[in-house]
Each structure stands twice: as structure tokens, then as C-alpha cells.
Structure 1
Amino acid sequence: MAMSEPFLAIDWGTTNRRVYLIENGMVRHTERDDAGAAKISDFEREIAAIRQRHGDYPVLMAGMVGSSIGWQETPYVPAPAGMKELASTLHYIDERTAIVPGMSWQAPDGRCDVMRGEEVQLLGAHAAGLVPEEAVLCQPGTHCKWAWLGGNGVERFVTAMTGELFAMLRQHSLLRPQLGGDVADGDAFRAGVAQGQHRDLAASLFGIRAAAMLDALSDADAASYASGVLIGADVANRMEHDKVGRVYILADVYLGTLYASAIAALGGDSVLIDSHETFVAGISTIRELQE
């Protein structure tokens, strides 16, 4: 298959997906919807519909489509690993449809970690020339990824359930009545970051309830403060335990700004990068290496 031939790349998460029509590394068209892997029962029909909308091109997918809740479960590639390892272990549904494998890591202390989809963005950041060969990258989200790039690609990584914890607190915890407001980078968020750096989460989070009872924290500020506590704890741990200096943040502007603010408040430096750009660079490189 010549690289001039267009192909369809799909970043297929649990709750959302984004489809890209790519030709010679350039995005000709894209669409985003909420048809995540957890909502699909007939993936073959979905792919047929995508080809009908965008063209009958080869398809290369990444993310939860390759998980136990996706189309077909694909094995993880153990880190350290780079583009060549991903491209050489693609899982083919048929000769024109393939899934990028996820990546796994087992730390010396026995802690295990996995990811699906993020590896394309992480390696794509370097492929696009947006980060140096050796760099620390952060991908905020429901499950925040921190990854260390080196000469072998992704050398190691760690996942923090920061976003999921915030969602659980907002929906199911004692703090639910207080956390209905918007999260914004301001005084309340940065106060939460300062509290979060102590990493005493159980006590810090209950303190939000107590502060409301004592009129020391308004409900309008509570969500920002709680988010700051969680993000602050995550960032502080990485900066102290892993001696992180400059961090390259792969995210949209909203979430990326929150992490950049927390990193700056705790004495670090960051660069915000568009995660969609890195996905396109990563998936295009893997496609090229198929040849």
C-alpha cells in the first residue's frame, strides 16, 4: 500500500471516538461522536458505516477498541517500546483493518500498568518533533498518564485515576452537593493544589465538607478546590518521587491549563501540546512502518 493512499484512523475510546481521514500525514476530514467502544455491539457494521461516510479506505484503530470491551482484544506490548514494536504487532481484523496494540509496564517494585491509545499520542509527540527524544509527558484525563520517553520509545509510565476520582466525588460522595460548580484555574484551584501537595487526600477531601459547614469555602469554589487537591497530589508526587522538571502536557486547552497551573504552582515548568496533533503524527508513522 503506497503511503500516498488515504487511510482512516480512529482514536476509539470507551465513551467517545474520533475519526480522521488522513492523506500523506495531513488530516483531510475529521469527525467526533459519543459512539465509544462500550456502546458498540456490532463493530463490523460501524466500520462499514464509517467507510460509507468517508471513503472505502484502509482503517487503522487505536484505543479501547482493542480491549476486552472492544472489537477484539489485542495483547499489550511491554515497555520499553517504540513505534517499530507497535507497527510490527498490529492486530489485523482483515487485510485492510487493523488495531494498534496497547502497552504495558511492570515496575521494579511490582506495580503493573497498562494503556490503550495513549501510546500513539505519546510516541507521536516525538515523531512530530514536538518533544525531545528524552522527555516527561503528561496526558490528563479520566486516567492521567505520565510517561518517560527515551531512546527506546516509551521507557516507563504510570497511571493516576485523578479524573475518575473527581467524577466519583462529584456524583456519589458526601461532597456531591458542593461540587456542582465549574472548575476553573483561579485562587480556589491553586489553594487546592497547595493542599494537595501534602498528599493526605482522605483528610484534605473531608476538609471540603468541613469548610462548607464553617462557611470557609463557598459552593461556587468547592469544585475548583477539590480538583486542585486531586491534581496537586498527582503532580506533587511525580515532581518529588520522579524528580520531574519540564513536563510536556498532551491535552486540550481547558484540562491542560489546569495541569500547567498546578505544575507551575509546585515549581515546575510545562509546555502544552495539542493531543489530536500528536495522535495524527503517531498513527501516520505506524501506518508508514506497515510497509
Structure 2
Amino acid sequence: MCSQAEVRMSSCDGQTKTSAARVLTQEELDRLGGERTLVSDFKQMKLENEAQKNWDLFYKRNTTNFFKDRHWTTREFEELKACREFESQKLVILEAGCGVGNCIFPLLEEDLNIFVYACDFSPRAVEFVKQNPLYCPERCCAFQCDLTKDDLMENVPEGSVDVVTLIFVLSAVHPDKMKLVLENINKVLKPGGIILFRDYGLYDHAMLRFKSGSKLGENFYVRQDGTRSYFFSREFLAELFEETGFQSIANDYVLRETVNKKEGLCVPRVFLQSKFTKPGQPQSS
């Protein structure tokens, strides 16, 4: 539990925002401390080389049925509405790592004054976006992109984006390449523009469930299907963004509990929810 001084905000949906990392039980500490052997360098290199293939296979198996539509986005990130100078202003959004469109399509339905650039590592995911009945080229441009090496400016004009959403995306990138992603995004974001971030936080239940032989590095693991996941601390994330030229607006753990009815368990979930800005004044329209 966190002290009252550490808890910044509690919301009515049963989640709490806090600046303090979740405190582990002794059993959880023992479980984490017991895993010291890392996956071999050879297998790590193979996972990196096959990262796109593994995500493409993920979408082949699950099609559009794995993730729920994210209708919570505008509730959690009021900047999607608040950063306009006037109500009818068209907002340009980049959904970096769009998957099959679970975030962008609720946004397009809810707000008629947005244009969305949407990119994903997986060509199959991008095709699912384009096949969606709500996809309209006048309001959305979807394209395949490896954010660690493909220049976003081939599809998005320099300094043209008001808001970037980076939601459960950076965790899938090797920690050594995360800066490359942020440097790429920096080029297309306007001065004064905002990055809205939500991803797996340190000591999330998913992190504690990995079996022996899954650890790739500190807070970095591989799932059975070959996809990888990093679990962020506030400090690591803040340093990552600051070193690539962004300023922190908010950076908090979101703590909540999820009930697994099948197993009769109530499990602790930890996410990191943050907002960063590119320094400079927004250019007048």
C-alpha cells in the first residue's frame, strides 16, 4: 500500500494513480529474485531478427479479436480535446503502433475534427485497419512502419502532428532501441505537441507470471509466442524521454485490480501513464 502523500489521484473506476512503485510481497520478491539466468545471446538475436514475423503471426492467430476497443482513451487523456485552440480546430494525431485500430476507430467515431496517421510494425495489422468499414482515407492514413529504423517523415510531414499516442507499444521494443523510436517521433511532432503514453508498469502481474527461461534482461521478458514485453519504472521512462528532448508533464503508475473469474483470482495490474511535451511554442494556425 502507498501512503496518502504518495497517492495523487484515485478515480471512481477502482484505479489509483501514484508516484510510488507497487510494494511486492515476500513471495513475489522471492519469485523475481530466483530468476537470474538470461536467455542466450543467440536466441535473443533470433527474437530481435524475427520480431516483425512474431507480431504478424500474433495478428494472424488473433485477427481483430484480441484487444478490446479503447473507449477509455479520451477519458484518461483529456489532451485529445483540451489542446485545441478553438473547438472546430482539426487535430492531427499519430497513433504509433496502431495494431488493428482499437484506439483510432473509437476516436474517429467520437470526434469528427481529427485526422489520424496510424502505423504498425505488422503489415497484417495495417491491412486489418484498412479493411475496417470505418477506415476513410480522408480522415485516416495507415501505413506499415518499423519505428526503430523507418523514417516517419516518409508518410507524415515534419512537425505536423499535434498529439502522438504511444499505448502499449514501446514495451514491445528492445530497450536499446527505444530512443530511436522517440527520436523518430520527435521529428513529426509540432513544438508544444504532446505524447500520451500508457504501457506496462514495473511489477505488473504479467511480469510476475513469466516462467523460468523467459528473462531477456532487466524488466524485459519474452512470451511463449516470441513477442517481448518490457515493464517500465517511472525513473527509466522519464530519463528515456528527457534524453531524447522531451519534457515531462505527468508520469504516474496506475494501480488497479483485475478479477480472473475462471481462476477465482484478484490480480494486481500496474501500468505507467504519462504525458510528455516537445519544448517550444505551438505554431499558429
Which one has a bigger Cα radius of gyration? 1
Between the two structures, name the one with larger relative contact order (CA 8 Å, sep ≥ 6).
2
Superposition TM-score, scaled by structure 2 size: 0.27
Which protein has the bigger helix share? 1
Superposition TM-score, scaled by structure 1 size: 0.27
